[in-house]
Amino acid sequence: MIGKLFMQAQFITLDGIDGAGKSTNLAVIKDWFEARNLPVLFTREPGGTPVGEALREILLDPATKAGLHTETLLMFAARRQHIEDVILPALERGVNVVSDRFTDATFAYQGGGRGVPLEEIAVLENWVQGGFRPDLTILLDVPLEVSMQRIGKNREKDRFEQEEAGFFTRVREVYLNRAAASPERYAVIDSNRDIGEVRKSINAVLDGHFNRYS
């Protein structure tokens, strides 16, 4: 078989419960790509497009009254535009894409947190995304107490951060279950450690992934 002439661009997502350290570790991922001079686009959900960012405002505003189904549909509405306008075009140009959250968050928050049946979310996932899935999902994990402590430090809590501990317990459980069910796609990172240690783990995951797929 003839080897690949060039590496296919990868779609990587970073996810985890609030307070798991996404911001810090997005910077780690940025550094990794910069050090290797690989083309990459950083984006986020909900958001990433004008309509997606407008939906984000609504979804995160504590004053918004939206039922669990509406909330779920808005997440997927934002996602569809994001995939069409940003993610797929970048991948087609050979640019890797890193998304700060993706569909795992819908399973975890709207499914685990709010109680939308996971199989209903899976139906929407297939409808909105077809077979499109991340090539790699880095799941940052911390114990609930750590998450609660970190969220507690936020001055202004968004609509999700205002939820109680039980909500986040269920969110975390769904993330971990999904990762356990598809270990080939997920890298679970214990981010309740020294930042340097977490950085090493993330670098190792990215090294391994790109060696495997290049």
| CA–CA separation, 28 and 86 (whole Å) | 22
If the CB atoms of residues 46 and 134 are measured against ligand TYD, the closer one turns out to be 46
Q: Is 62 helix (H, G, I), strand (E, B) or coil?
A: coil
Residue 180, marked binder:
no
Q: Is 116 helix (H, G, I), strand (E, B) or coil?
A: coil
Count the site residues for ligand TYD by CB under 6 A.
13
160 counts as binding ligand TYD under rule CB under 6 A: yes
Residue 17, marked binder:
yes
Q: Which two tokens stand for residue 150?
A: 């970190």
| CA–CA separation, 151 and 149 (whole Å) | 6
20 counts as binding ligand TYD under rule CB under 6 A: no
Which of 41, 55, 75, 205 is in the footprint of ligand TYD by CB under 6 A?
75
Among 95, 130, 129, which residue's Cα sits nearest to residue 7? 95
Q: Which stretch binds ligand TYD (CB under 6 A): 80-88, 97-105, 124-132, 184-192?
A: 97-105
Whether the Cβ atoms of residue 157 and residue 147 lie closer than 8 Å to each other: no
Q: Is 142 helix (H, G, I), strand (E, B) or coil?
A: coil
| CA–CA separation, 163 and 106 (whole Å) | 15
Whether the Cβ atoms of residue 6 and residue 127 lie closer than 8 Å to each other: no
178 counts as binding ligand TYD under rule CB under 6 A: no
Q: Which stretch binds ligand TYD (CB under 6 A): 100-108, 115-123, 143-151, 190-198?
A: 100-108
Please state the φ and ψ torsions of residue 21, each to the nearest 5 degrees: 100, 35
Q: Which stretch binds ligand TYD (CB under 6 A): 26-34, 87-95, 104-112, 189-197?
A: 104-112
Which of 106, 137, 147, 191 is in the footprint of ligand TYD by CB under 6 A?
106
Which of 9, 105, 151, 174 is in the footprint of ligand TYD by CB under 6 A?
105
Annotation: binding site for ATP: 16-23
Binding-site ranges for ligand TYD (CB under 6 A) = 18, 22-23, 45-46, 75, 100-101, 105-106, 109-110, 160
